[in-house]
Chain A
Amino acid sequence: MNTALHERAPLAIVARGIAKAYRSSQPGGSLSVLEGVDFTLRAGEFVSIVGPSGCGKTTLLRILAGLVAPGQGSLEVLGKVADGPGPERAMVFQSFALLPWLDALDNVAFGLELRNIPREERSAIAADYLKLVGLSGFEHAYPRQLSGGMQQRIGLARALAVDPAILLMDEPLGAVDALTRSWLQLDLLRIWDETRKSVVFVTHDVGEAVLLSDRVVVMGTRPGRILEERVIDLPRPRSDATRESARFNELSMQIWRSLKEMVIERPSVGAERRSREARAGARAS
């Protein structure tokens, strides 16, 4: 089972006691976005973070990426203390963040260009990754000429091109239409199978999280903190058929229910008890 495999893998990310607050016009003067968050990622693991909007999952991801400094807490990446972005992590953005004045090939080669890799070499590498994401032939197209799904593939290729150990993905399929999203999810599974990166994947789509991940972390809101974690024991490699399996639906429903309690009712004592029980149950299996 993948769980057992991962429990023996080295730690890619260890975040402890992460807290982040922003100054606000609220009474009290500060808005606490994250509180007491502990998060770990093991090598080769695919972990999703799900939660309602405003729960701080994007902030957590940006802290893991090193783009934002945590107010409190510590962050270790690949065993070393991290205080800023690093070459072992690469990010994929919800709004694609492609440079509109570069064509697809140059966009994919962007990270390599920053590392002063000579033009011929980086163009070759970029072309390879464009092929991996299924965009061969579009090397010289500009972002504005391409659909959302294609643009996001370029974003993914760009992140993969610098060969990071860890991929951080911020609702990468949030800005594409539902049909493209289903297609891209399957593509992501394929690409991950081939590259086996350690991935932190932020999403609000529970089904997506369950389909793609080894483990799902559920975050609560106000303040943002981790409510529960579920191991996804669906067999790999996964495919379209996985979506129809009973276990998939069961897991999705369980997570969906936790989220619903959080969003519709304020976390009551009962809900917290339930999530504690679920966590205990997951650890036991």
Chain B
Amino acid sequence: MNAIVPARGLRAEFTGFARLFAFVRGREWIVLAVALALGWELAGRAGHWLFLPPLSAIVRALVKMFADGTLPAVLAGSALTLAAGVAISVSCGLLIGAAMAQWRIIDEALRPFIDAMMSAPIIALIPVFIALFGVEYGTRLATVVVFSIFPVILNTYEGLRVVDPTLVDMGRSFGARGADLYRHIRLPAALPLIRAGFHLCMLRGVRGLVNGEVLISVVGIGGVLQTYGAAFAMPQLWAVIFTIVAFAFALLGIERLLVRLFMKGGGASMREEAA
């Protein structure tokens, strides 16, 4: 960095750039984001493409929709639906997965169905739900549950299945049986996989929520999306899209927080080795 020794004034600019460069190196996405934002703004102003309004217009629409309370109210409703659906998925999923791990006959009966549901395009079920249950709240909830329950079942089952049998033996040798074994050994050992199941559950739950609301069309954040989409109100549409993205991320962040609070990492993430 000292190879060139320019005049004093120039030197100050060099260090400024150097510091900026050092900051960005390792965070290149910032460069891309800034470039995209600039490009978007300019392209939007030029007005060539209907679907690309200037970024500033989108931001303005976003601020307005939040300020006048329409978006927050809708988001709250969607978030509650998601929370309820995920709660159902998690509780039922844990029970079913545990039952499958404990009793082989349940595993044999249910597994093909669950495998199938994990690889099927579940979104195809939404029209059926709508036709059968209408546009009620129940449909939205059912959609979230159907999307998010299967990873929980599968991961709970897998997690409980791969518990080290020596640990179970050890527990039994100390007098643990049944419920004790679950509490002290099986569940803690299964926790990493179960945690992964929760993550997938949340991810798919968000997807189920938005998919359901878009297809049902008048409800929730998905419904708002449809409304603006149909009206080709592009700045507002993009604003809602950004909101949905932020919404998804916020929920995943909350999920990570909850997991850390309610499931002791218990040193599982520590990677220290003894000498």
Direct A–B touching, Cβ under 8 Å: yes
* Contact B264 A89, beta carbon cutoff 8 Å: no
* Contact A85 B174, beta carbon cutoff 8 Å: yes
Nearest Cβ on chain B to A146's Cβ, whole angstroms: 5
* Contact A142 B270, beta carbon cutoff 8 Å: yes
C-alpha gap A62/B175 in the complex (Å):
14
Known contacts A93-B166, A144-B267, A145-B272: does B172 contact A110 (CB below 8 Å)?
A: no
Q: Type the 1/0 row for B135-176, where 1 means its CB is closer than 8 Å to any CB of A.
A: 000000000000000000000000000001011011111111
**Interface size band for A:** 20 to 34
> Please, which residues of chain A bring their CB within 8 A of the CB of B176?
114
* Contact B169 A97, beta carbon cutoff 8 Å: yes
Q: Type the 1/0 row for A91-133, where 1 means its CB is closer than 8 Å to any CB of B.
A: 1010101011111000000110111000000000000000000
Tell me how many residues of B have a C-beta within 8 Å of chain A. Answer: 25
Closest to A110 in B: B174
Mark the stretch among B6-14, B180-188, B203-211, B249-257 that contacts chain A. B180-188
Answer whether residue A253 sits at the interface, using C-beta atoms and an 8 A cutoff.
no
Answer whether residue A232 sits at the interface, using C-beta atoms and an 8 A cutoff.
no
C-alpha gap A91/B169 in the complex (Å):
10
> Please, which residues of chain A bring their CB within 8 A of the CB of B188?
99, 101
Q: Type the 1/0 row for A27-44, where 1 means its CB is closer than 8 Å to any CB of B.
A: 000000000000000000
C-alpha gap A147/B272 in the complex (Å):
12
Answer whether residue B274 sits at the interface, using C-beta atoms and an 8 A cutoff.
yes
* Contact B274 A146, beta carbon cutoff 8 Å: yes
Nearest Cβ on chain B to A113's Cβ, whole angstroms: 7
C-alpha gap A55/B23 in the complex (Å):
65
> Please, which residues of chain B bring their CB within 8 A of the CB of A209?
none
* Contact A101 B267, beta carbon cutoff 8 Å: yes
Answer whether residue B121 sits at the interface, using C-beta atoms and an 8 A cutoff.
no
C-alpha gap A67/B165 in the complex (Å):
12
* Contact A90 B185, beta carbon cutoff 8 Å: no
Answer whether residue A218 sits at the interface, using C-beta atoms and an 8 A cutoff.
no
Binding site for A on B (CB under 8 A): 164, 166-167, 169-176, 180, 184-185, 188, 191, 264, 266-268, 270, 272-275
